[in-house]
Homo-oligomer: A and B are copies of this chain.
Amino acid sequence: MSVTGPQGFRAAGVTAGLKPSGKPDVALVVNEGPRFEAAAVFTSNRCKAHPVVWSEQAAADGRVDAVVLNSGGANCFTGPEGFATVHFTAEHVADLLGTSAGDVVVCSTGLIGEVLDRARLSAGVAAAVTALSPEGGQAAAEAIMTTDTHAKQVLVERAGWSVGGMAKGAGMLAPALATMLVVLTTDAVAEQAALDAALRRAVRRTFDRIDSDGCMSTNDTVVLLASGASGEAPGQAELDAAVEEACLDLAMQLIGDAEGAKHEVTIEVVGAASEDDAITAGRAIARSNLLKCAIFGEDPNWGRVLAAVGTTDAVFDPAQIDVSINGVQVCRAGGPGEPRDLVRWEGRAVRFVVDLHAGDAAVTTWTTDLTTDYVIENSAYST
């Protein structure tokens, strides 16, 4: 059910004292081989945290032996000392595992601009190496949580091989990427190029299409490790499908645990002239604070949808758009459709379908509502 679901991986999660709460805060995932292909995708934010700068280089050659992750501090905008901490941590992990620092990916999450306690982190790394276990996935997933209310894990099983994963992220979710750390593992035999293609495709279709608050993090990392331990070598399409299934499952867990959210919102843009248009329109809708407040209040204010789409360059005629909310077509051809009172709000799931009547492309985007709890949680995050 986690990164240790596939064969050939050990993991651990320990408490290093980086979090004031005293909860677990250092995780380690180790590929035991026999193969060590890997692929990774990082934040497109130009203000990258030190671990991202390091890990982009570490993953560039397509081999990753271990991923060390800490919560309790993002190690971002912490000056040269912060980068030295990343370097030191990678060397430390490599020494203890008998591998090369250049094959160690480092991930951090927590508050930006606070210097990490290197001594505590170092002791945590040593403890994590000692604690490594083929059943360590759960502990690792718990150790990367920040404002997450629960650990997020997945296991996609195929005949003889599988894809496992864990994710951290509960806010600041926006393309591309959502604020998150994701480690995926597979025991499939796969060339690096195949892994890279599968991961980029999956990220584009899942994590890049969730957007809780339009904010993009400095630390986002998704890394996929392949041990080859199953001896099974799926074709590209099989690999693509399994990796996408794992990513979609984790993405839905992220949206389902977004900070303060009361509703999970599915936005299907259909009838778009192109996939890009559908993505652009979906993202604009997902980022409308006014719409997100209306959803919190269970107010079927469909005008907010049209106002959001109207800010984009997607191909559409305002006099043609249809909008349905939870199956009720409240807007038809750019004007009022069924009475908005007919919309039923039941449970957390809300579904918008927006038909641009401009073509055949369709894309689903996922978001959450904007709630008083979100504001309260983020009004005192660093204090």
Contact = CB atoms under 8 A, between A and B. Distances in A.
Contacts of A213: 289-290
Interface string A203-242: 0000000000111111000000000000000000000000
A47 B336 contact: no
Interface stretch (A3-11, A89-97, A124-132, A293-301): A293-301
A232 to B, nearest CB: 40
Contacts of A375: 293, 296, 370-372, 374-375
Interface stretch (A17-25, A100-108, A186-194, A304-312): A304-312
A214 B289 contact: yes
Report which residue of A79, A111, A293, A301 has the largest number of chain B beta carbons within 10 angstroms of its beta carbon: A293
Chain A contact surface mostly:
loop
Contacts of A289: 213-215, 289, 370, 378
Report which residue of A47, A301, A380 has the largest number of chain B beta carbons within 10 angstroms of its beta carbon: A47
A340 B380 CA distance: 13
Interface stretch (A61-69, A70-78, A138-146, A154-162): A70-78
- Oligomeric state, in copies: 2
Interface in A328-383: 331, 333-336, 340, 370-372, 374-383
A318 interface: yes
B379 A293 contact: yes
Nearest to A382: B301
A303 B112 contact: yes
A172 interface: yes
Contact of A318 (B48, B74, B301): B48
A306 B379 contact: no
A253 interface: no
Nearest to A76: B303
A310 B46 contact: yes
A57 interface: no
Given A290-B213, A375-B371, A335 B47 contact: no
B334 A77 contact: yes
A214 B378 CA distance: 18
Nearest to A307: B218
A149 interface: no
A54 interface: no
**Residues of A in contact with B, size category:** 35 or more
Given A297-B379, A299-B380, A79 B310 contact: no
Given A79-B336, A217-B307, A378 B48 contact: no
A115 interface: yes
Nearest to A341: B383
A264 to B, nearest CB: 17
A47 B311 CA distance: 8
Contact of A382 (B74, B294, B371, B380): B294
B336 A379 contact: no
Given A48-B318, A309-B47, A215 B288 contact: yes
B379 A307 contact: no
Interface string A13-48: 000000000000000000000000000000001111
Contacts of A114: 336
Given A48-B310, A48-B318, A289-B370, 14 more contacts: A45-B311, A47-B309, A77-B318, A111-B301, A114-B336, A214-B288, A215-B288, A216-B307, A289-B378, A293-B378, A294-B378, A297-B378, A299-B382, A340-B382
12 contacts: A45-B311, A46-B309, A77-B335, A79-B334, A112-B306, A213-B289, A214-B287, A215-B304, A294-B378, A297-B378, A297-B381, A299-B380
